[in-house]
Amino acid sequence: MTAEAVAEVEETVGRTGSSGRANAFRDWNRSRALGRLGRRIAGRVRRG
């Protein structure tokens, strides 16, 4: 996602949801979390 898209999502979640949801999105959007998720998915595909 582009920086503008991330900022827009954070703003929308902050307005419409709880601060916990905004924090959860920030945590999910970190590159390390995405890298771990990608490796986990790739590992499952190779094993399957």
pLDDT at 27 over 60: yes
pTM for this model (two decimals): 0.45
pLDDT tens column, 1-19 = 777 887 888 788 778 877 7
pLDDT at 34 over 70: no
Q: Which residues of 15-35 are buried (b: 16+ CB within 10 A; e: fewer)?
A: eeeeeeebeebeeeeeeeeee
Averaged pLDDT for residues 21-41? 71
In the chain, what is the greatest distance between 2 CA atoms, to the nearest angstrom?
42
What CA–CA distances, in Å, run from 40 to 15, 20, 44?
A: 32, 25, 6
Instruction: Select the more confidently predicted residue: 34 or 30.
Output: 30
Instruction: Select the more confidently predicted residue: 48 or 34.
Output: 34
